[in-house]
Amino acid sequence: MEVGRRRKRARRRVALLASALTAVAVVTAGALSVPHGIPGQRTDALLVADSPPPPPPPLTSDVTILLVGLDSTVDGQGRPAPAELVHGDLHAGLPDRDTADTVMLVRIPAGGGEVRQLSLPRDLLATDLQNQKVPLNSVFSTAVAAERKRLSGQGLSAEELNRRAREAGRGALYRAVEHLTGVRVDHYMELSMIGFYRAAQALGGVPVCLNHAVEDSWSGIDLPAGRQELNPAQALAFVRQRHGVGDGSDLGRTVRAQAFLAGVVAKLRDGGALADPAKLKALYDALADELVTDQGWSPADFARQVPALASGRGTASTLPTTYEGNRLRAVPDAARQILDGTGPSSSPAVSSAPQSSAPVRLGGVPCVD
């Protein structure tokens, strides 16, 4: 009987770990933003069932997930964050703009292997539903505004109007990313800034390393150089800082987000969290209520199909781009090649050549600016 209980605890721990690692990339995505929309779904079946159901069949093909964070101060269930949190630890307070300031693709290989995460710059030129060329981060907001205008005067409640408008935004962004990258998207996930904050709390500190001391009043960051563990407020500031990072473009902030992602994986794998089911459950619970996913898809069940997620192995890259005048364009076919693991190599940031940054290895704690 004791052996059976130990086996059940082990199964629950692996399931929690896989679920947490599936959501690790979403944690970083939510750090820069907050989505409006429907709440995520929670399942406790993996935690309390005496006879857990058999695992789903293993993946037969690679899966690509679109991870999105929106610039808003509303949580995953559409509720405004408390004012003291918005103006305090979140260091926010600007009006909601519905811009998709964080857009990432994550490739989960069917046969195991490394997870690959690809960040798409928010200023990248994309095509909206009106076939207009706009920055990627405005595709969502443009569709939301158009749908709100179309539905106005139909007697809908504010909650229903917001829900339908944001569904239109998600559909527009999903199609724009597929058109832009040439990569088929299988699933969609959003996470709120509140979810990121709560996940950072559940982790009990996230390790990062800075090449230089940083201080910035816009993000609220004030950190010394060297390796250190960040509390939730510091974690938000670390990934949100744009002023004073590199050339001030999104590239520096993207590298920060990837370094934070690597630190989370390192914390889970090396900091003892993997051996502590209570910590893993707290992390999963912190994320579950904030997630917005496509209908009928359970990230927890999906994680059970991919045991390799527990290794924490993977890379985080930024889509190479070129400038044409003042327009930022994707290097043709680069997204597919990076996610497939066939290239391209990173290039130095020069005006006429592809711009990108070196991939960040997940599981370590890389030092960044």
Question: Would you give the distance in Å from CA 283 to the centre of its chain?
Answer: 15
Instruction: Report the percentage of the chain scoring pLDDT > 90.
Output: 18
Domain membership of residue 179 (yes or no) is yes
- Other C-beta atoms lying within 10 Å of the C-beta of residue 335: 23
Do the beta carbons of residue 139 and residue 179 sit within 8 Å? no
Average pLDDT over residues 218-234: 87
Measured between alpha carbons, how far is 170 from 100 in angstroms, rounded to an integer? 10
Residue 218, Ramachandran bin (φ over 0: left; ψ between -120 and 50: alpha; else beta): alpha
- Burial state string for 303-324 with b = 16 or more CB within 10 A and e = fewer than 16: bbbbebbbbbbbbbbbbbbbee
Average pLDDT over residues 280-303: 74
Q: Please give the residue that has the higher pLDDT: either 63 or 24.
A: 63
**What is the extent of the structural domain holding 17?**
2-203+273-368
Domain membership of residue 18 (yes or no) is yes
Domain membership of residue 95 (yes or no) is yes
List pLDDT tens digits, range 14-27.
Answer: 445 545 555 565 55
| pLDDT of 113 | 72
Q: What is the DSSP string of 157-170?
A: -HHHHHHHHHHHHH
What is the number of structural domains in the chain? Answer: 1
Those residues with Cβ within 8 angstroms of residue 101's Cβ, 6 or more apart along the chain or in another chain:
32, 33, 69, 70, 71, 122, 137
Domain membership of residue 19 (yes or no) is yes
Mean pLDDT of the chain: 73
| pLDDT of 339 | 93
List pLDDT tens digits, range 176-211.
Answer: 999 999 999 999 988 777 777 777 887 888 899 999
Domain membership of residue 244 (yes or no) is no
**What is the identity of the amino acid at 16?**
L
Domain membership of residue 246 (yes or no) is no
Q: How many residues does the chain have?
A: 369
Domain membership of residue 265 (yes or no) is no
Measured between alpha carbons, how far is 201 from 197 in angstroms, rounded to an integer? 6
Measured between alpha carbons, how far is 251 from 117 in angstroms, rounded to an integer? 15
Average pLDDT over residues 97-109: 81
List pLDDT tens digits, range 121-180.
Answer: 888 999 888 888 899 989 998 998 999 999 998 999 887 888 888 889 999 999 999 999
Strands 214-216 and 221-223: antiparallel
For residue 57, the domain's CATH number is 3.30.420.590
Domain membership of residue 266 (yes or no) is no
